[in-house]
């Protein structure tokens, strides 16, 4: 198919200083939890995206000097020449696909505790290190010789970056992750010398480092400034008017302005909290201040919205991190007129959780993310079938859908049987909950792909038992029958059933099926700690209930720190009038009330309520799998029976999608026994 001419503008080249990008698709710097630990993996991941049509591919942040590092987080390092080959591998992979390579040089300063190097962190002022943890470490206020050193370190890093093959070299002043932003900030910079006080003074370091970088590498590499335009704190933080002033004063100094919100949680807001293009109001008008190209993000997956950004003079380049993770081939699909094939990011921030947990980023929509090099999985392609085998997939949730889709793509004959009258499983149910509608894209993309495959047949309203499965005569059976929320409260706190003498009790499954509590006052006990508790509380308030949210953790939905949502969820619940009781568990329940126990002292207190909602753990729905395994003697021509996804062990939607892809990749692969099922790089031993 040919490209829709409406989208031609997205494929125009754009000059960025001394280099030119072939189109407007710009993968802005993004972390991925692999960094210096898994260099070939990152190179392959970025190279694949370059093959998918992005004009520019940037690295995650690269620490420029050993005096500022962000252990335990795993980004890149450019401390000395020995780091160059790793980075060169990435720029080579990007250049091999005719794209430009950008590198985000970072000196974290007051955002890195230096737990690895034990160097004393530097900052504009004497202040505690501002990381995700309350590390007992302070930054030392820099004197003028420290500032001179920092400028030299940055310049040397820029030269090394150019030697490593990068075409766009960043001066980073965003996300609260860079000392240059801390110097800009009235909150962090309380200096009284020429680097503090007035705006011109606070931006002096930004100006000097940008000019140094231009001097050092600007003849052949573009110099980009990535700047936080707003911290969403009103005038007490960096805000649009102030940063517009900065950009106006330095308008033509860099070759590119990359504009973002700060902190990271504000820049990478989830679909629970913002729509696509949510940054528009903060970046509108910046292009009037400079003739240099401007790039910005907005979880863009719609080509029409992208075109509007360019045509209405908001952005020159369509920045994307998450949309490029969910669909590394997004630009090519627009180019080829295959809009329906775009695998849209759902805005869940599971990718972010990889970085936050120092593990390779994974993606709910793209199960190949992080597996490109170590398992050889491609985000778009998969090897052809190796036999005439016919596969029956039982269950049409994310695991079953992805297994059927990937097996179908391989060319196998697949039947997908789903008990219900719609596909999607938990995704179909959960996307009807408040704020989760974008999650339906997990189902929509897979159903759209399957509908194009003549070799995949879908049977709705087909709840199968073992007798039926054994009758059909398939060669391989995949059981993806999902899970259900426990009614007995077993999770982290209660390892045996919560004693309950007559308190009406509902689970998230009941709420999703439309059942509502009978009384007004509901206690919601969340021992799951991810999104479901907060969402159920929101649903109950909207249905007119008074909700007391009880959690054994020190805050609501504590795991959502990893998706950058925790502060937003807790604020929302408080603002909705939910009573929050932390560090307590519902110990027992009886008609009319519950007894809470303090998780530290065990001290009990009574709480009256009408109903209890338990967001505990889930039980696999694995009866079909167990029945089939028990009848192996009746299998006949059936060669394998496997359970995958939540019916194997309940986890995230991302894990279910991964399980589906993994089945399709591995069910006919040679048995590798006890071998590690992926490649890994090991540290080089020095004498």
Which residues form the catalytic set?
Answer: 31, 172, 175, 267
Q: Pick the closer one to ligand ADP by CB: 15 or 487.
A: 487
Q: Which of 125, 365, 551, 557 binds ligand SF4 (CB under 6 A)?
A: 365
DSSP state of 490: B
Inter-residue contact 530 to 565 (CB < 8 Å): no
Name the minimum Å distance from CB 353 to ligand SF4. Answer: 8
Binding mask 597-636 for ligand ADP (x = CB under 6 A): ------------------------x--x------------
Task: By CB under 6 A, tell whether 436 contacts ligand ADP.
Answer: no
Q: Which of 10, 100, 130, 350 binds ligand SF4 (CB under 6 A)?
A: 350
Residues contacting residue 7 through CB under 8 Å, at least 6 positions apart: 303, 306, 307, 334, 335
532 binds ligand ADP (CB under 6 A): no
Least Cβ distance, residue 51 to ligand ADP (angstroms): 30
Considering only residues 440 to 469 of the shown chain, the ones binding ligand ADP according to CB under 6 A are 462-464
347 binds, among ligand ADP, ligand SF4, none (CB under 5 to 8 A by kind): ligand SF4
Please give the order of strands across the beta sheet that includes 521-526.
Answer: 505-506, 611-615, 521-526, 546-550, 579-581
Q: What are 382's two structure tokens?
A: 């998969």
Query: Does 363 interact with ligand SF4 (rule: CB under 6 A)?
Result: yes
> Pick from ligand ADP, ligand SF4, none: which does 353 bind, CB < 5 to 8 A by kind?
none
- Tally of CB atoms within 10 A around 620: 19
Distance from C-alpha of 258 to C-alpha of 168, rounded to nearest angstrom: 12
Out of 29, 323, 482, 508, name the contact with ligand ADP by CB under 6 A. 482
57-94 burial string, b = 16+ CB within 10 Å, else e? bbbbbbbbbebbbbeebbbbbbbeeebbebbbbbbebb
Q: Give which of ligand SF4, ligand ADP, none residue 463 binds (C-beta under 5 to 8 Å, depending on kind).
A: ligand ADP
Instruction: Return the one option of ligand ADP, ligand SF4, none that residue 481 interacts with (CB less than 5 to 8 A, by type).
Output: ligand ADP
Cβ proximity to ligand SF4: between 319 and 347 the closer is 347
Is the separation of the CB atoms in 323 and 299 below 8 Å?
A: yes
* Least Å from the CB of residue 432 to ligand ADP: 13
Question: Which listed option, ligand ADP, ligand SF4, none, makes contact with residue 322 (CB within 5 to 8 Å by class)?
Answer: ligand SF4
Residue from 364, 548, 557, 558 that binds ligand SF4 (CB under 6 A)?
A: 364
Q: Which of 29, 347, 395, 398 binds ligand SF4 (CB under 6 A)?
A: 347
Please check whether residue 399 is in contact with residue 427, taking contact to mean a CB–CB distance below 8 angstroms.
Answer: no
> 517 vs 620, which CB is nearer to ligand ADP?
620
DSSP string, 427-465: HHHHTTSTT-GGGGHHHHHHHHHHHT-TTEEEESS----
Instruction: Let me know: does 540 contact 547? Beta carbons within 8 Å.
Output: yes
User: How far is 519 from 155, CA to CA, in rounded Å?
Assistant: 66
Q: Which of ligand ADP, ligand SF4, none interacts with 363 (beta carbon under 5 to 8 A by kind)?
A: ligand SF4
Residues 646-685 binding ligand ADP (CB under 6 A) are 646-647, 656
**Lookup result for tokens 């400079």:** 290
User: If binding is defined by CB under 6 A, does position 45 make contact with ligand SF4?
Assistant: no
406 versus 490: smaller Cβ distance to ligand SF4: 406
**Partner touching 624 among ligand ADP, ligand SF4, none, CB below 5 to 8 Å by kind:** ligand ADP
Residue 394 binds ligand ADP, judged by CB under 6 A: yes
Question: Which partner in ligand ADP, ligand SF4, none is near 346 (CB below 5 to 8 A by kind)?
Answer: ligand SF4
Contact 680, 374 (CB under 8 A): yes
348 belongs to the binding site for ligand SF4 (CB under 6 A): yes
Residues in 291-330 at the binding interface with ligand SF4, rule: CB under 6 A: 322, 325-326
List the interface residues with ligand ADP, window 162-221 (CB under 6 A).
none
Q: Is 656 in the site for ligand SF4 (CB under 6 A)?
A: no
The secondary structure element, H or E, covering residue 93 is helix 84-95
Judged by CB under 6 A, the residue of 47, 398, 408, 517 near ligand ADP is 398
Query: Applying CB under 6 A, does 362 fall inside the site for ligand ADP?
Result: no
Give, in order, the Cα–Cα distances in Å from 534 to each of 393, 435, 539, 560, 563: 33, 11, 9, 10, 14
Residue selected from 108, 111, 366, 481 as contacting ligand ADP according to rule CB under 6 A: 481
Question: Measured from the CB atom, is 59 or 364 closer to ligand SF4?
Answer: 364
Ranges assigned E (strand) in 64-201: 76-77, 100-106, 122-123, 127-128, 138-141, 168-173
Q: Does 399 participate in binding ligand ADP (rule CB under 6 A)? A: yes
> At its nearest, how many Å lie between ligand SF4 and the CB of residue 344?
8
Report in angstroms how near the CB of residue 430 gets to ligand ADP at its nearest. 9
Query: Looking at beta carbons, which pairs linking 388-391 to residues 24 or more positions away fall under 8 Å?
Result: 388/413, 389/413, 389/475, 389/476, 389/639, 389/668, 390/414, 390/415, 390/474, 390/475, 390/476, 391/415, 391/474, 391/475, 391/476, 391/477, 391/478, 391/667
Tell me how far, at minimum, the Cβ of 563 lies from ligand SF4, in Å.
Answer: 8
Write each residue from 400 to 429 as x if it is in contact with ligand ADP (CB under 6 A), else as -, in one continuous string.
x----------------xxxx----xx---
d(CA 284, CA 276) in angstroms, rounded, equals 15
φ/ψ of residue 419, rounded to 5: -65, -40
Q: Which residues of 552-571 are buried (b: 16+ CB within 10 A; e: fewer)?
A: bbebbbbbbbbbbbbebbbe
User: How many residues bind ligand ADP, per CB under 6 A?
Assistant: 26
> Which tokens in the block code for residue 116?
């690895």
Give 212 or 276: the residue with its C-beta nearer to ligand SF4. 276
The number of angstroms, rounded, from the C-alpha of 434 to the middle of its chain's C-alpha atoms is: 20
Task: State both tokens at 30.
Answer: 């993004």
Stretch that binds ligand ADP, among 61-69, 310-318, 393-401, 432-440 (CB under 6 A): 393-401
517 binds, among ligand ADP, ligand SF4, none (CB under 5 to 8 A by kind): none
Where do runs of H (alpha helix) occur along 104-261?
144-163, 179-184, 199-202, 204-217, 240-249
Cα–Cα distance measured from residue 254 to residue 18, given in angstroms and rounded to the nearest whole number: 11
Q: Do residues 257 and 52 touch, judged by C-beta distance below 8 A?
A: no
CA–CA dist 237, 233 (Å, integer): 5
**Residue 274: CB minimum distance to ligand SF4, A:** 12
In the complex, what is the shortest distance from the CB of residue 449 to ligand ADP, in angstroms, rounded to a whole number?
Answer: 16
H/E stretch holding 597: strand 593-598
Q: Which of 68, 349, 481, 566 binds ligand SF4 (CB under 6 A)?
A: 349
Sorted by sequence, the CB contacts under 8 Å of residue 55 that are 6+ apart come out as 14, 21, 22, 23, 24, 25, 26, 99, 100, 317, 331
CB of 656 to ligand SF4, least distance (A): 13
User: In sequence order, which ranges of 52-83 are alpha helices (DSSP H)?
Assistant: none
Question: Judged by CB under 6 A, which stretch of 202-210, 347-355, 539-547, 644-652 contacts ligand ADP?
Answer: 644-652
Compare residues 77 and 476 and give the one whose CB is closer to ligand ADP: 476
Question: β-pairing, 505-506 with 611-615?
Answer: parallel
Binding site residues, ligand ADP, CB under 6 A: 394-400, 417-420, 425-426, 462-464, 480-483, 621, 624, 645-647, 656
In the complex, the residues that contact ligand SF4 under the rule CB under 6 A are 322, 325-326, 345-351, 363-365
């Amino acid at each position: 198919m040919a490209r829709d001419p409406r989208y031609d503008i997205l494929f125009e080249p754009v000059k960025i200083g001394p280099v030119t990008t072939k189109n407007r698709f710009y993968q802005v710097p993004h972390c991925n939890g692999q960094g210096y630990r898994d260099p070939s993996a990152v190179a392959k991941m970025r190279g694949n995206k370059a093959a998918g049509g992005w004009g520019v591919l940037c690295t995650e942040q690269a620490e420029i000097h050993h005096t500022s590092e962000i252990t335990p987080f795993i980004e890149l390092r450019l401390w000395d020449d020995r780091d160059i080959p790793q980075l060169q591998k990435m720029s080579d992979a990007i250049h091999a696909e005719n794209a430009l390579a950008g590198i985000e040089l970072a000196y974290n300063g007051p955002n890195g505790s230096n737990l690895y190097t034990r160097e004393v962190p530097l900052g504009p002022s004497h202040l505690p290190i501002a990381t995700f943890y309350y590390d007992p470490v302070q930054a030392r206020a820099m004197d003028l010789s420290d500032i001179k050193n920092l400028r030299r370190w940055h310049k040397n890093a820029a030269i090394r970056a150019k030697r490593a093959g990068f075409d766009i070299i960043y001066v980073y002043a965003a996300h609260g992750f860079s000392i240059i932003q801390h110097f800009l900030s009235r909150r962090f910079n309380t200096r009284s010398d020429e680097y503090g006080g007035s705006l011109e003074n606070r931006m002096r370091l930004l100006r000097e480092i940008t000019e140094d970088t231009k001097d050092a590498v600007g003849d052949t590499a573009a110099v980009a400034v990535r700047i936080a335009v707003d911290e969403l704190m009103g005038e007490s933080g960096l805000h649009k008017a102030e940063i517009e002033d900065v950009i106006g004063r330095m308008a033509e100094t860099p070759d590119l302005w990359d504009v973002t919100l700060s902190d990271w949680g504000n820049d990478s807001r989830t679909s629970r909290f913002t729509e696509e293009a949510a940054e528009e109001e903060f970046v509108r008008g910046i292009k009037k201040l400079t003739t240099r190209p401007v790039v910005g993000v907005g979880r863009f997956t719609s080509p029409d919205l992208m075109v509007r950004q360019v045509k209405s003079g908001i952005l020159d380049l369509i920045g994307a991190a998450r949309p490029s993770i969910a669909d590394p081939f997004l630009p090519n699909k627009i180019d080829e007129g295959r809009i329906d094939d775009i695998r849209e990011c759902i805005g869940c921030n599971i990718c972010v959780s990889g970085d936050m947990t120092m593990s390779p980023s994974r993606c709910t929509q793209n199960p190949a993310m992080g597996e490109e090099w170590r398992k050889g999985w491609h985000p778009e392609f998969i090897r052809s079938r190796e036999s005439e085998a016919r596969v029956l997939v039982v269950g049409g949730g994310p695991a079953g859908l992805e297994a059927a889709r990937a097996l179908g793509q391989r060319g196998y004959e697949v039947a997908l049987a789903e008990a219900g009258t719609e596909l999607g499983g938990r995704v179909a149910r959960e996307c009807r909950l408040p704020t989760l509608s974008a999650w339906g894209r997990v189902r929509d993309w897979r159903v759209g792909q399957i509908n194009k495959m003549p070799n995949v047949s879908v049977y709705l309203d087909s709840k199968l038992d073992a007798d039926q499965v054994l009758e059909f005569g398939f060669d391989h059976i995949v059981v993806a029958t999902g899970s259900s929320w426990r009614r007995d409260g077993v999770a982290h706190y209660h390892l045996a059933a919560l004693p309950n003498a007559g308190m009406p009790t509902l689970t998230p499954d009941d709420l999703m099926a439309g059942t509502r509590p009978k009384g007004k006052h509901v206690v919601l006990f969340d021992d799951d700690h991810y999104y479901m508790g907060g969402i159920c509380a929101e649903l109950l308030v909207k249905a007119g209930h008074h909700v007391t949210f009880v959690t054994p953790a020190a805050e609501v939905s504590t795991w959502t720190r990893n998706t950058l949502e925790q502060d937003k969820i807790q604020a929302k619940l408080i603002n909705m009038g939910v009573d929050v009781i932390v560090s307590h568990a519902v110990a027992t329940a009886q008609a009319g009330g519950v007894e809470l126990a303090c998780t530290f002292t065990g001290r009990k207190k009574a709480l009256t309520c009408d109903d209890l909602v338990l967001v505990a753990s889930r039980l696999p729905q694995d009866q079909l799998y167990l029945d089939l395994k028990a009848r192996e003697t009746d299998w006949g021509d059936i060669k394998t029976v496997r359970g995958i996804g939540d019916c194997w062990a309940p986890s995230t939607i991302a894990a279910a999608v991964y399980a589906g892809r993994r089945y399709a990749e591995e069910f006919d692969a040679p048995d590798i026994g006890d071998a590690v099922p992926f490649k890994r790089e090991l540290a080089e031993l020095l004498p």
